[in-house]
A and B are shown apart, each in its own frame.
Chain A
């Protein structure tokens, strides 16, 4: 990461300008305030923008149906501009100045950790609705994103069965990439596969020439990509440009989570194996309705990815909890959630796991065909086993940390 004066200055200017960013939909006095921090610009905006759009749609739908507890929901979003220090700043602002009732937001694991303690101290329920590496144990947070035991456990054995036993991992160099790489190793070992090599890349690396040559030296049966963000997109492009996409198959835990397939060419993603909680190709009526609504509101469903849908579902889960609790207070919502609240959502049934505040959900193994995630097989109601192994909020309600899961 090069920090030069330009970046520093533009950051400072952005912070100065950001006081204009708050855009409440309703300014009614008697409203429920839903706060959010998302990267709706910068290198992670491919994740953040559709999440924001999905959130607006969810809130509009709830408000159109009469709101919650006879109050309208007011949406307060801060654009964190793909800059982690903005999360700290705007997280505090949401908690202290805006005094919101709930927060849905955060994308990268680093961003979640930047705001988690702020909301915990202020006793504001925090919903983190993104796939991540697992292990967060905190009674104030609710997570409906898919974790490695749900995703990797489905993906790796299927890939090994399909292609063979030698795996080469390429991962982003921060907590998500590091921990996910460990999980891949664990589930690979369980089915008798071996990891020939793991390479980590900082988020701004965009030249993968030497890596592609090294992969060929190692001669793996497949590569697994845990790459994240705009710069890492270059890998898929350079991989296809060297013609390797026809020779060594690829599985990924991240490709498609930001709808990367839309900026890549067809042949650059064709045949890549992935596993998510959601695909646009799901045929259930709730998903059809979601796609139709999104299309009606925004004109196209191209950018609606699994991360945006799980953000949407997080808001629906919270709304259901508020309805059942008859209150927006943290203690009341937590009580309802911990009773095993369950909703039917476009991605399938989602149930809150009381022990970990994570989600029990359906996982779909998919393959990219013509830029679409075609579903190969669905696995119903998968438990967040990774976090369950280390975290028990029933026994230790005051626990407050992210466990590094020993593998």
Chain B
């Protein structure tokens, strides 16, 4: 039993659902007449409601960021390394809110939900989401929970982009913005990888142009392939070398051997792909990668991130990882440089880590120290 035996775990958590009946106008011009958000909370909201921390998830994340859903649960939430008693986002001190974003496939309204207009699943007709739509819906959730101002909004990768968007859209509702392994916008290379992932899904015959639910099919091969491509970009060359090298899982490279050799890295990627394809919705994956592609913090500010950040009033902590090539330290330094030029409060740490982009999920000692130190500052001002 994991949940109760670990002192640093938030233990067993129960997802909750918030229902919103007021229409939500979306960036794409359409609106959701009503929607639901599934979320979890950890820790206790204090009397003056000043200790709330919003955790924004990345591409394939969900509301289950910490703790366990049952005593038999084998794996904790996706950011359990950073959320819990004595951890950087210390639940003894903070009230943590983690939700599944709109368009997700883990309980919040998304492509698998029923479209009230048709009585059928939305499928490919679910409206496109932008980061600002998520931020708007998260603000509704804050209203629902009685939180006027977040002590901090925190996120890694696409989550960091939501945190930055928060600082511009609701400057009066966020005191600290923690941006980990993120970027002001995607590079052409980032866009290219996302396109390969989407094409993998689109080319699966079971995808049926996005209407696979009506055919009782799931494009698992396409989804698995998409995840495999994505996964390569989350790891560093060094991390893969250390973890797998050229180790063989089966077969042989000896001369005269006629069987196919299979490298460890092949089976690892296939395992990751098949695990993912059983738990994730293909339309959601397409929606999430598009939201990532479309994110461009400064687009509405004449493409000037300095002008954009002048709308923010919170303090920023930016963290990057040395071997992250998806959103490299150079991308984070662009964020920092813009914040300095905009005369905003900012701290920046570049963590040496072999793990690539995935490092933001892992208990790397210096990362945990820096993150904890900044959260102490957040705690003092909350």
Q: Tell me whether A and B are bound partners.
A: no
